[in-house]
Amino acid sequence: MLPELRVLYFEDLEVGLSETLSKTIASSDVVGFAEITGDRNPIHLSEHFAARTPFGTRIAHGLYTAGLISAVLGTRLPGPGAVYISQTLNFRAPVRIGDIVDVTVTVAELMPERRRARLACRCSVAGETVLDGEALVKVPTKAEADPLAVRTERQQS
């Protein structure tokens, strides 16, 4: 199921605003990510190979987990129209097939002069952080997104 879209403009953001998305990691997700990226490392795809690693079982690609952060940014906080500038990632623990990953994005800082938001990003499984980092995004204003609607609002006020 795809996350419902929510559009927030720069004016709607405030430090501390947060959004969480939960996703159960399926084998088909990991196989699909391998097909799309070409990363066919057997630790992700072969149970036989993965059983001989310190993890003991297949794990999801770290960048697949990081991609779930992109889902939050592009659909919920800030949502459609936001543009990625940068992202830091710290991989803390593996994500296994069947894990439920909770992705939380929180507004950490707003930079009005350039309409940028610094967002704290955390992915966790059963309360344990598996990935964290920060994203910097450019967020459109209402006027940039729909100049006609803003003019109409002003005329009606």
Q: Is the pLDDT of residue 3 over 70?
A: no
pTM for the structure as a whole: 0.87
- Residues 111, 102: Cα–Cα separation, whole Å: 27
DSSP the chain: -PPPP----GGG--TT-EEEEEEEPPHHHHHHHHHHH----HHHH-HHHHHTSTT-S-B--HHHHHHHHHHHHHHTSS-TT-EEEEE--EE-S--BTTPEEEEEEEEEEEEGGGTEEEEEEEEEETTEEEEEEEEEEE---HHHH-HHHHHHHHHH-
Give pLDDT tens digits for 118-152: 999 999 999 999 999 999 999 999 988 775 654 55
Please, which pLDDT band fits residue 23 given cuts at 50, 70 and 90? very high
Q: Is the pLDDT of residue 60 over 90?
A: yes
- In this predicted structure, what is the pLDDT of residue 101? 98
List of residues 6+ apart from 87 with CB closer than 8 A: 66, 69, 121, 133, 134, 135, 136
